[in-house]
Structure 1
Amino acid sequence: MSSFFVPRMNRGFVQILIFWFIPAVCDSAIITLETKPHVEATCGENVTLTCKASFSNQENVKIIKFQWLHAGRNMCANEDKDTDDLFRCGRTNTNSHHELTLILTKIKPIQEGQYLCKIHTSVGVENIKANVVTKDCIGNSTTSMNQTHATCSFRGNYPSGVVHWFQGDVNITDGVSTQAERDEDGFYDFQSTLDTEGRNLSQPLSCSLWMPSMGKYVVNLRSNALSSSGSIIQLQWVCVLLEIIMMSYRM
């Protein structure tokens, strides 16, 4: 039968371990980061992201780097202030905490996404995420019409949408040609053309921009530019004939 021998540790050695271990544990600092995890913004607004850092033992912490990151870009590092066409930064230090503020100026769709607040300190590294979403970006719209086609243009919209055509209350979108492009700022542009040749235009035409993400039409165009030019000409001739008849009665 085998036996195990557990040596007794020297009392002085144990005291030395306690002497070094306890201060090391007690002097360590816990890093806490706080920020708003989800932010929704309307296009053109200024959006402020604030990252607050605090420590359980402030005296033993040295901040090496404090930054906001987006799409691989270091937006705010150790500098107190930073400026850019799309953002600016600011930093506030107090006895209890440190704050790094990132202001997205006149926010555009290309600025949405995940932002990472990250801090490097002498006691470790910590990070926290904030997700920014842009919504309700409605741009400008125009209409035009000639003898054979009616065109509606919607520019500077986000999120993406779908152009619908109506004659009166009837949806006539089938067969319509629509082109969609996304510009450098992330906005969507739409140009939709309806072939009017051979179509009965006794009822007015209209076009609308439907945004599935919002579940509604955000732009409705019912312009005189979408009236039948042929009908206008006919109406003008009717007016001329009526004027001739009235003049003949007066004579």
Structure 2
Amino acid sequence: MFQCLGDQVKRHKMNLFTQQTVMLWLCVARTLTTAELVKLSTVDSVIVWCHQSVRLQCNISTSQEGLLIKHLAWVRQDGKHLCDVNGTEVTGTHPGSTTSAMECSYTPQTQLSLTLLQVRPLDQGKYLCKLRSSHGVKEATTMVKLQESYKEAQPSISDEGPTCTFTGVYPDGEVHWFQGPNNVTGDSTINTKQVEDGASLTITSSLKRKTVSGEEAYNCSLWIPSTGSYLTSSLVVPEHDKARVAQPNASGSGSIGPLWKPFLVLLSTLFLV
């Protein structure tokens, strides 16, 4: 009798184990199947010039019809929701509403785009596209990185000497001065840095040198220590009492004309010797 009872208990435990195993496999299979029903795709990372715009696209694809999107959003790494889709309604941040303006656009069931306008250093980081739908929950990530850049170069001259101001500088930089082949950075007596809204910098440097009409022009070059290169250069010409920028492009992204690149390499070599 006791043996029969023991066998019944064993069979009962075995049945419970079998039922639990089957239920576990069903849950796993359902999860895997649901995960394959819908996919999100974004680019892994983008590199953008400071003060320019970038568009982040989150693409939705599904292997079955009947996808019901319950919630779709672009979310910054600090948890702030930038674009939200609830049903067919799209809400987001629009130009002028914050310092870092952005726009949202939505193609139903297909794509949610986030455009960052006038990207600043504070806008760098991770952006997540999050989806909650009838076919499962998915997430994709894009990293936004900034290229070294500046917004504007403002050279000027007075009887006291030349001055150069570079605005919107990213990352941190220094102003190096040259007169012909001579490095005269040591003569700069006024050097200031101010943090702008968005964490870029305004860098100003002056030479305390009496300017004489007809003397050789001064050159102020923006040096970026983190990259070990010059970003742009400006000429200050005493005989005309004015200054001119050495061929930056119209966007202010800091590219230098081909004629100036060998010159700046020479300046860099002279400075580092």
**TM-score, scaled to structure 1:** 0.69
Partner of 1:8 in structure 2?
Answer: 11
C-alpha separation in 1, matches of 2:53 and 2:108? 23
- Say if 1:16 and 1:221 are closer, same or farther in 2 by CA, change over 3 A: closer
Tell me if 1:29 matches 2:42.
no
135-144 or 4-13, which deviates more: 4-13
Partner of 2:104 in structure 1?
Answer: 89
Tell me if 1:67 matches 2:79.
no
Q: Is the 8 A contact 2:152 2:168 kept in 1?
A: yes
Partner of 1:193 in structure 2?
Answer: 206
139-148 or 110-119, which deviates more: 139-148
Aligned partner letter, 2:108: N
Partner of 1:170 in structure 2?
Answer: 182
- Say if 1:223 and 1:63 are closer, same or farther in 2 by CA, change over 3 A: same
In structure 1, the gaps of 5 or more residues are 229-251
In structure 2, the gaps of 5 or more residues are 96-100, 242-273
Partner of 2:222 in structure 1?
Answer: 209
Q: Is the 8 A contact 1:81 1:88 kept in 2?
A: no
Question: In structure 2, which of residues 143, 163, 167 is the aligned counterpart of residue 131 of structure 1?
Answer: 143
C-alpha separation in 2, matches of 1:108 and 1:214? 19
C-alpha separation in 1, matches of 2:211 and 2:106? 66
C-alpha separation in 1, matches of 2:23 and 2:179? 87
C-alpha separation in 2, matches of 1:198 and 1:25? 80
Give the SS at the match of 1:223.
Answer: strand
1:96-107 matches, cutoff 5 A: 98-107=110-119
C-alpha separation in 1, matches of 2:216 and 2:74? 56
- Say if 1:18 and 1:57 are closer, same or farther in 2 by CA, change over 3 A: farther
- Say if 1:9 and 1:189 are closer, same or farther in 2 by CA, change over 3 A: same
**TM-score, scaled to structure 2:** 0.64
Partner of 2:49 in structure 1?
Answer: 42
Aligned Cα RMSD in Å? Answer: 3.9
Question: In structure 2, which of residues 236, 248, 255 is the aligned counterpart of residue 223 of structure 1?
Answer: 236
Cα drift, residue 134 of structure 1: 2.5
Q: Is the 8 A contact 1:205 1:226 kept in 2?
A: no
String of CA shifts for 1:161-200, please: whole Å, max 9, x gaps: 210011221212125231111211443211102222699x
Tell me if 1:179 matches 2:192.
yes
218-227 or 83-92, which deviates more: 218-227
C-alpha separation in 2, matches of 1:117 and 1:226? 57
